[in-house]
Amino acid sequence: MGSGCNRKAAHASTGYLRRASWVRSPYGPETQAALEAIAANLGQAGLGMGDVVKCDVFLADIADFAAVNAVYGRFMPDPPPARSTVGVAALPKGGLVEIEAIARRDR
């Protein structure tokens, strides 16, 4: 897998934690790497994938949705969080997929 980038931001007043991740590699491994990075970032905040309430998935080629969805399904709980998936003209650093996850900490 190629080099990656993680972004993270938290909004303390709402208890929501926002994570986004992208790396450069083929769709399946790129999706897995992005979701592993999100899971690790959430873990550092004491959260897990079960705390994710919404994901936004950006694909450089929407025709590869099935490959991304197959990996995505292995990481998400049942029922999965809300999700939007869109095809885009380009992603930062030539990435193929970018996934943004918003998680909520129950108080």
The beta-strand segments (E) located in 1-107 are 4-11, 16-23, 52-59, 82-87, 97-104
The answer to which of 29-33, 47-51, 53-57, 79-83 has the lowest mean pLDDT is: 29-33
Q: Is the confidence at residue 19, as pLDDT, over 80?
A: no
What is the length of the chain?
107
Q: Is the pLDDT of residue 1 over 90?
A: no
Q: For residue 8, what pLDDT is reported?
A: 45
d(CA 15, CA 11): 6
For the entire predicted model, the pTM comes to 0.76
Taken in order 51, 93, 89, 60, is the CA torsion positive or negative?
negative
Among 105, 96, 98, 107, smallest CA distance to 25 is for 96
